[in-house]
Structure 1
Amino acid sequence: MSNDFYNTSILPHAGIIIKICRAYTDSEPDFEDYYQEVCLQIWKSRNAFKNKSKWSTWIYRIALNVCLTLTKKKVRTSSVDSKIPENSEENKAFQNEDLNLLYDAIKKLSEVDRAIILLYLEENANKEIASIIGTSPNNVAVRVNRIKKQLKILLDGKIN
């Protein structure tokens, strides 16, 4: 993967990738593996992008598919001693305790609900979320309300 592609096409959307990978992993090494695999798959599938959606939507779809696949297969690939620099955005993702609590609560949700709430938290419109998930915008609105209630209960109880 060229640095140019990473810097121009992936790095501006690193927040999306980080949030999705965090929601589907339980440890920093797994997170790093998932993040790396998502970036690799984005690079591999870049020529398949047909401009039918926004590039960020394409990244969401790839990240969700990769994370769901890796979660289902429980693939644990070991990387060759790739340490994340201490000041990187990826490392900061694990240092905020309130954020960690939120991710712990999100991990309690079903796979589809996790995807929906992550897209919602990125301020995507219900129509956009529906197109990514493969459902109707009304269904998304109902599910978001239910997910918010579920997260509130989990966070009020400090997650169990």
Structure 2
Amino acid sequence: MEKELEHQFVTNLERDQNIVHKICRIYTNDQASHNDLFQEITIQLWKAYPKFRGDAKFSTWMYRVALNTAITLYRKKKRGIQTQDYDSVQFRIKVDEYDDETEQRLSLMYNAVKELNDIDKALVFLYLEDKNYKEISETMGISEVNARVKMNRVKTKLKKILNP
């Protein structure tokens, strides 16, 4: 029974692991922190998996566990651990693959999102993942109306951050 459970978990995790990587990118500034957070989220997902009832899609459940884990760890680490800024890391990318304007806009957006509180970050992440408000509300454990209201407020905050 446990081997079957393990096989199901690994299959689901492999299929939807990009969700976890995207959450890690929002809540970390360097590859080492990203890897640590990915590992911690995977551990928490595995611990919680026997309780997964299948009421929601696996990916929705995964979002919830991953975001809760990231937020919890972020709050603990925020108290003093310094990480390397993502922008200070140099990458070797072929010139034809690199679009400076797009990269600058993405960097501005990620920096603006990092200024938001943890809940707002999660909301923006789900929104940018093209989740509808029903899925956002299920993932975050709030009403659909509340998700819409919060998203409108977050959009206003982001506009103020990006256009002071």
TM-score normalised to structure 1 length: 0.73
| 1:45 counterpart SS class | helix
Equivalent-residue separation in structure 2 for 1:19 and 1:99 (angstroms): 13
Query: How many pairs does the alignment contain?
Result: 138
Correspondence for 1:135 among 130, 136, 142: 142
Correspondence for 1:30 among 30, 33, 38: 33
Letter in 1 for 2:14: L
Equivalent-residue separation in structure 2 for 1:15 and 1:149 (angstroms): 28
Matched, 1:104 2:107: no
Matched, 1:42 2:45: yes
* 8 A contact 2:24–2:37 mirrored in 1: yes
Equivalent-residue separation in structure 2 for 1:26 and 1:109 (angstroms): 15
Equivalent-residue separation in structure 2 for 1:25 and 1:156 (angstroms): 24
Identity of aligned residues (%): 39
Instruction: Give 1:6-155 correspondences, 5 Å limit.
Output: 6=10, 8-74=11-77, 96-155=103-162
Structure of greater Rg = 2
CA RMSD between the two structures: 2.6
Q: How far apart are 1:3 and its partner, in Å?
A: 8.1
Equivalent-residue separation in structure 2 for 1:115 and 1:40 (angstroms): 20
* 8 A contact 2:9–2:49 mirrored in 1: no
Equivalent-residue separation in structure 2 for 1:154 and 1:32 (angstroms): 29
* 8 A contact 1:22–1:103 mirrored in 2: no
Letter in 2 for 1:19: K
Q: How far apart are 1:45 and its partner, in Å?
A: 2.1
Equivalent-residue separation in structure 2 for 1:141 and 1:5 (angstroms): 32
Letter in 2 for 1:52: D
- Larger relative helix fraction: 2
TM-score normalised to structure 2 length: 0.72
